[in-house]
Amino acid sequence: MTEKYARMMEYTVPEEYKAIKDFLPKIDLISKKYIEGIIPIFLEWEKEFRREYPYLSSISRPAFSSEDKPSQTSFETYLKAEIFTYSQSTIWLYYHFIKEMTVKGINFSKQIQLNIVKQYGFSSLKEANESVKRKITECNSH
């Protein structure tokens, strides 16, 4: 976990990251290649999720690393940092798993979000999105 948060610093606080980057394990070129294949797929899935469930996504992290701030890490940066901590073989397996999801037409980003909202008692992303919409509407009417 320490490594993941340290890697996030490259995008959120780059000057501080420079001071610690040499202490982190090096990422080999093969792993980088697979990671570069994973991230764009996830970002497309995330865009689709955010288009379909705008209220639910409004309470989550910003999507792109261009939106990173020292106090707020984007989905993209968090995902990269997480995957950078995996072993080369795990990254390879994950890459092929992600590719398989695309072939099957499964948006894994939506699947992850569905698992999260189910833990909060919702039966679907639509139900969770409508709940957030009602809460936002209530707050704005006061």
**How many CA atoms lie less than 13 Å away from 65 in the CB half-sphere?**
17
- What pLDDT is stored for residue 87 in this prediction? 95
Mean pLDDT calculated for residue range 4-30: 93
Domain that holds residue 80: 2-141
- Residue identified by tokens 């970002």 is 43
Q: What percent of the chain has pLDDT over 70?
A: 100
pLDDT of 76 above 90: yes
> 22, 18, 11, 19: which is closest to 70 by C-alpha?
11
- Name which residue leads in pLDDT, 41 or 141: 41
Furthest-apart CA pair in the chain: how many Å?
Answer: 54
Q: How many domains does the chain have?
A: 1
Each residue's pLDDT tens digit, 89-131? 999 999 999 999 999 999 999 999 999 999 999 999 999 999 9
